Structure 1
Amino acid sequence: MNGPGRRWQRRSYHHGNLKEVLLEAARKLIEEHGAFGFSLTEAARLAGVSPAAPYRHFRDRDALLAEVARSGFERFAARLDAAWNNGVPTPLSAFEALGRAYLTFARDEPASYAVMFETGASTEEGGEAIQAATSSPAAEKAFNVLLEAAAALCRKLPESERPPLKLVAMHIWTMSHGVASLFIQEGNAAKKVPLSPEEVLESGLLIYLKGLGVLPEAADEGPAAK
């Protein structure tokens, strides 16, 4: 894990794990300096390898950042898929687990999350490379988990009353990302709200589902929905 305050220990390099060592170094540097605040040479230095070694895997720093994003999306998608668990035991409970998994990933992997959802990247700052990573199969898989959850939650609605499922999935993703960014990545909002990020997200999503008309009555009466 690469969260703030955790001590990063460099792995000893040997043939075969150079790529992962460089990714670990990049994630550490991202936490300290931001996505574009370091060079490939600095990543090599932190990894304990020669300045030329990274070029065996990455043509430049932007390619390294793109791999941080791509590999992050792979782990992110796996966590979301495991939390959703095909809607077991119920779509609503699985959906709540999905929201918690989203925030847990943002908390556990702040560097990867920051690059995965980097919004200020210009073309000169590696924007094209990161944009390509956000369109990768792993990123699409993560969105598809949310799409599957949206479909399961809206299934009981009459077909004529079902909202566009891609739009619902995007709303869910937007709300989850907003809470993660404000309460975990930035941290400032957490000081002003006497609720955990999980509680903020759960209550917001339940209000949203209630507005769609898909919230079961039992859940509507629960403490999280109040």
Structure 2
Amino acid sequence: MAKRGYHHGNLRQALVDAALELIAETGPQGFTMAEAAKRADVSAAAPYRHFTGRDDLIVEIARQGFDLFADVLEYAYKDGQPSPLVAFEAVGRAYLAFARAHPGHYAAMFESGVAVNASKDLAAANARANNVLLRAAADLSARMPPDRRPPAAMFAAHVTALSHGIVALYARGTPGARAPFTAEQLLESGVGVYLRGLGFLDSDT
């Protein structure tokens, strides 16, 4: 394992990187500041020059995670192109891809118990990611009959909950170990059922 620490010139980020490894191995509550310091190859006291404790370190990891998440979602959404439905489906796939590619960030963001308003920067990063989901939901639901159209925030929350459940149950570990379908197939079919229930898709679509 490559050594980290002062010679990197950025102890704060070295500690974040060390904690990300530990979170991926043991979960967001399964490590101590001393272990993060050891993994970063610094003294046990060094982390406290940048963070008040483990929760403060996790807040920074979550902030970085939501910034990455927002970038991934915005890239997938492409301003609703080539159509609201295609863009919405792309955002869903991007959600799953992010969870796989950044397990440490994802755990800090959604499984650590840290409140999204724990810091202004974290709240802003979370809002930027949520705004992509809201835009995707609003653009798609705008094509539904008004009497069948849920509020965009509710629409986004439903699909986020579905995506998060699929990540928790089926998108980790060995693909196919818990279901004979990929996480993407489960999300696509789940969103399809949801949209048919709203009358957006025909039953034969």
Same fold, judged at TM 0.5 (above): yes
Letter in 2 for 1:43: A
User: Where does 1:97-108 land on structure 2 (aligned, <5 Å)?
Assistant: 97-108=90-101
Partner of 1:169: 156
Q: 1:64 to 1:32 in 2, by over 3 A?
A: same
Letter in 2 for 1:53: A
* TM-score, structure 2 as length reference: 0.89
Separation in 2, partners of 1:58, 1:135: 15
Match of 2:135 among 130, 133, 148: 148
Separation in 1, partners of 2:2, 2:169: 29
User: Where does 1:53-92 land on structure 2 (aligned, <5 Å)?
Assistant: 53-92=46-85
Consecutive unaligned residues of structure 2, counting only runs of 5 or more, are: none
Asked whether 1:182 is paired with 2:175, we answer no
Q: 1:212 to 1:135 in 2, by over 3 A?
A: farther
Partner of 1:5: none
User: Where does 1:1-226 land on structure 2 (aligned, <5 Å)?
Assistant: 9-11=2-4, 13-14=6-7, 16-118=9-111, 121=113, 127=114, 132=118, 136-185=123-172, 187=173, 190-215=176-201, 221=205
Contact 1:25 1:43 in 2 (8 A): yes
Contact 1:84 1:149 in 2 (8 A): yes
Letter in 1 for 2:160: W
Q: CA deviation at 1:132?
A: 2.0
Contact 1:21 1:47 in 2 (8 A): yes
* TM-score, structure 1 as length reference: 0.81
Q: CA deviation at 1:148?
A: 0.6
Q: CA deviation at 1:157?
A: 2.2
1:39-84: CA deviations, max 9, x gaps?
1111111101122221221011111111111111110111111101
Contact 2:20 2:105 in 1 (8 A): yes
Contact 2:5 2:42 in 1 (8 A): no
For these two proteins, the number of residue pairs brought into alignment is 204
Q: CA deviation at 1:161?
A: 3.4
Separation in 1, partners of 2:191, 2:148: 19
Contact 2:84 2:136 in 1 (8 A): yes
Secondary structure, in 3 states, of the residue corresponding to 2:171?
helix
